[in-house]
Amino acid sequence: MKSFWRKGATATAALGAAVLALTATGCSPAADKGSTAGSSGPNTTVTVRLWDEQVQKAYEASFKEFEAKNPNITVKTTLEPFSTYFDKLRTDVSGGNADDIFWVSSSYFAPYADNGSLLEIGSEFDSEKSGWVPAAVDQYTRNGKLWGVPQLTDGGIAVYYNKAMLAKAGVDPSDLSWNPTDPSKDTFLKAAQKLTLDANGKTADDPSFDKDHIVQYGYNASQDLQAIYYNFIGSNGGAFQDGEKFVFASDKSAQAFQYVVDLINKYHVSPGAANTNDNGDFLRDQFIQGHVAMFQSGTYNLKNVSDGAKFDWAIAPIPAGPEGRVSVVNNIVAAANAKTTHKDATLKVLQWLGSAEGSKFIGAEGAAVPAVTAAQSSYADFWKAKGVDSSQFAKAAEGKTISAPVGSNYGAAANAWKPIFNEIFLGRTPVKEGLQKAQDAANAAMTQ
Partner 1 sequence: MASKRARREAGIGYLLLAPSLFGILAFLIFPILVVIWLSLNSWNLLSPAKFVGLENFVRVFQDTAFLRSMTVTVLFVLLVIPLQTALGLFSATLLTRGLPGSGFFRVIYVIPWICAPLALGVVWKWIFAPTGGALNAVLGTNTSWLTDPALALPAVAAVSIWSQVGYVTLFFMAGLSAIPAQILDAARIDGSGPWQTFWLVKLPLLRPTMFFVLVTGIISSFQAFDSIYALTPNGGPQGTTDVIATRIYGEAFQSFNLGRASVMALVLFVLLVAVTLIQQLYFRKRITYDLS
Residue 273 found at the interface with partner 1 (CB under 8 A): yes
For the CB of residue 164, give the shortest distance to partner 1 in the complex, in Å. 22
Choose the binding region for partner 1 from 36-44, 270-278, 303-311, 361-369 (rule: CB under 8 A). Answer: 270-278
Selected binder of partner 1 within 35, 47, 117, 231 (CB under 8 A): 117
SS3 402: strand
Burial class (CB within 10 angstroms; exposed 0-12, middle 13-18, buried 19+) of 353:
buried
Residue 412 found at the interface with partner 1 (CB under 8 A): yes
Report which of 56, 149, 148, 111 is spatially closest to residue 362, judged by C-alpha positions. Answer: 56
Please tell me the distance from the alpha carbon of residue 448 to that of residue 110, in angstroms, as a whole number. Answer: 15
Which positions from 17 through 46 interact with partner 1, judged by CB under 8 A?
A: 17-27
For the CB of residue 418, give the shortest distance to partner 1 in the complex, in Å. 5
Selected binder of partner 1 within 36, 72, 115, 127 (CB under 8 A): 115
Selected binder of partner 1 within 171, 416, 424, 438 (CB under 8 A): 416
In the complex with partner 1, the residue whose CB is nearer, 206 or 423, is 423
Please report how many Cα atoms fall inside a 13 Å half-sphere around the Cα of residue 254, on the Cβ side: 14
Residue 277 found at the interface with partner 1 (CB under 8 A): yes
Q: How far apart are the first and last CA of the chain?
A: 33
The footprint of partner 1 on this chain (CB under 8 A) covers a number of residues equal to 53
For the CA atoms of 207, 209, 210, 214, the dihedral, rounded to the nearest 10 degrees, stands at -150
Give the per-residue contact string, 208-227, with partner 1 (x = CB under 8 A; - = no): ----x---------------
In the complex with partner 1, the residue whose CB is nearer, 69 or 213, is 213
Choose the binding region for partner 1 from 90-98, 136-144, 179-187, 228-236 (rule: CB under 8 A). Answer: 90-98
Residue 7 found at the interface with partner 1 (CB under 8 A): yes
For the CB of residue 279, give the shortest distance to partner 1 in the complex, in Å. 9
For the CB of residue 415, give the shortest distance to partner 1 in the complex, in Å. 4
Selected binder of partner 1 within 45, 54, 77, 94 (CB under 8 A): 94
Choose the binding region for partner 1 from 4-12, 317-325, 329-337, 373-381 (rule: CB under 8 A). Answer: 4-12
Please tell me the distance from the alpha carbon of residue 410 to that of residue 141, in angstroms, as a whole number. Answer: 16
As a residue count, the chain comes to: 448
Please tell me the distance from the alpha carbon of residue 89 to that of residue 388, in angstroms, as a whole number. Answer: 35
Q: Which residues fall within 8 angstroms of residue 325, CB to CB, at 6 or more apart?
A: 231, 235, 317, 318, 319, 396, 399, 400
Give the per-residue contact string, 338-377, with partner 1 (x = CB under 8 A; - = no): ----------------------------------------
Residue 403 found at the interface with partner 1 (CB under 8 A): no
Which positions from 46 through 65 interact with partner 1, judged by CB under 8 A?
A: none
For the CB of residue 135, give the shortest distance to partner 1 in the complex, in Å. 26
Buried b (16+ CB within 10 A) or exposed e, 176-196: bbbbbeeeeebbbbbbbbbbb
Q: Where are the beta strands (DSSP E) in 24-114?
A: 44-50, 73-79, 101-105
Please tell me the distance from the alpha carbon of residue 192 to that of residue 182, in angstroms, as a whole number. Answer: 17
Please tell me the distance from the alpha carbon of residue 275 to that of residue 441, in angstroms, as a whole number. Answer: 25
For the CA atoms of 122, 125, 128, 132, the dihedral, rounded to the nearest 10 degrees, stands at -30
Using CA atoms, how far residue 161 sits from 133, 172, 218, 302, 396, in Å, is 29, 10, 10, 12, 16
Tell me how far the alpha carbon of residue 230 is from its chain's centroid: 12
Residue 310 found at the interface with partner 1 (CB under 8 A): no
For the CB of residue 421, give the shortest distance to partner 1 in the complex, in Å. 10
Selected binder of partner 1 within 111, 237, 290, 399 (CB under 8 A): 111
Residue 426 found at the interface with partner 1 (CB under 8 A): yes
Please tell me the distance from the alpha carbon of residue 117 to that of residue 138, in angstroms, as a whole number. Answer: 20
Where on the chain is the footprint of partner 1 (CB under 8 A)? 1-3, 5, 7, 10-11, 13-27, 87, 90-91, 93-94, 111-112, 114-115, 117, 212, 271-275, 277-278, 409, 411-412, 415-416, 418-419, 422-423, 426, 428, 445, 448
